């Protein structure tokens, strides 16, 4: 009598080690994505601030071209506002990394973001990178 061997079927599934590795990879990818997203949001705020500063800088230079005897230190916001694009009625503000609205100092050239008491605000730490400043 010949007996046939029944093939042994194994249940295919994930082991605990494989599941742990998959979960760790997913956590690493999510963490990386959140970090990159935060840095991208900071970059967008800086880029918007630098564009706003460029507009104010252009308005400041146009005012000085029309009034060549005025000193930069004597310029006020009301002097620059008529030269802003889009018939602006006030000087624009920018958002800081913490979400606070910051004004712009127009009595220096190039204009800078005012962090309070005339202190320039530039979280990038470099005034030549055109991020949070007019740059060069």
Taking only the tens place, the pLDDT of each residue in 24-56 is 999 999 999 999 888 898 889 889 998 999 999
- Which residues form the domain of 27? 16-114
Say if 95 falls within a structural domain.
yes
Q: Report d(CA 9, CA 120) in Å as an integer.
A: 72
Say if 132 falls within a structural domain.
no
* pLDDT (average), residues 115-125: 83
Buried b (16+ CB within 10 A) or exposed e, 72-106: eeebeeebbbebbeeeeeebbebebeeeeebebbb
Residue 132 confidence (pLDDT): 83
Domain count, the chain: 1
Predicted TM-score (pTM) of this structure: 0.74
Say if 124 falls within a structural domain.
no
Say if 89 falls within a structural domain.
yes
Tell me the pLDDT of the chain averaged across its residues.
Answer: 87
């Amino acid at each position: 009598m010949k007996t046939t061997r029944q093939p042994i079927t194994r249940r295919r599934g994930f082991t605990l080690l494989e599941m742990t590795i998959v979960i760790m990879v997913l956590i690493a990818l999510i963490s990386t994505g959140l970090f990159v997203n935060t840095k991208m949001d900071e970059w967008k705020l800086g880029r918007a601030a630098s564009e706003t500063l460029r507009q104010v800088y252009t308005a400041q230079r146009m005012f000085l071209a029309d009034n060549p005897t005025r000193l930069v230190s004597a310029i006020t916001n009301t002097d620059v506002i008529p030269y802003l694009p889009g018939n602006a009625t006030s000087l624009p503000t920018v958002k800081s990394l913490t979400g606070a609205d910051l004004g712009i100092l127009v009595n220096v050239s190039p204009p800078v973001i005012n962090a309070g008491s005339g202190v320039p605000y530039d979280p990038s730490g470099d005034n030549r990178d055109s991020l949070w400043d007019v740059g060069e």
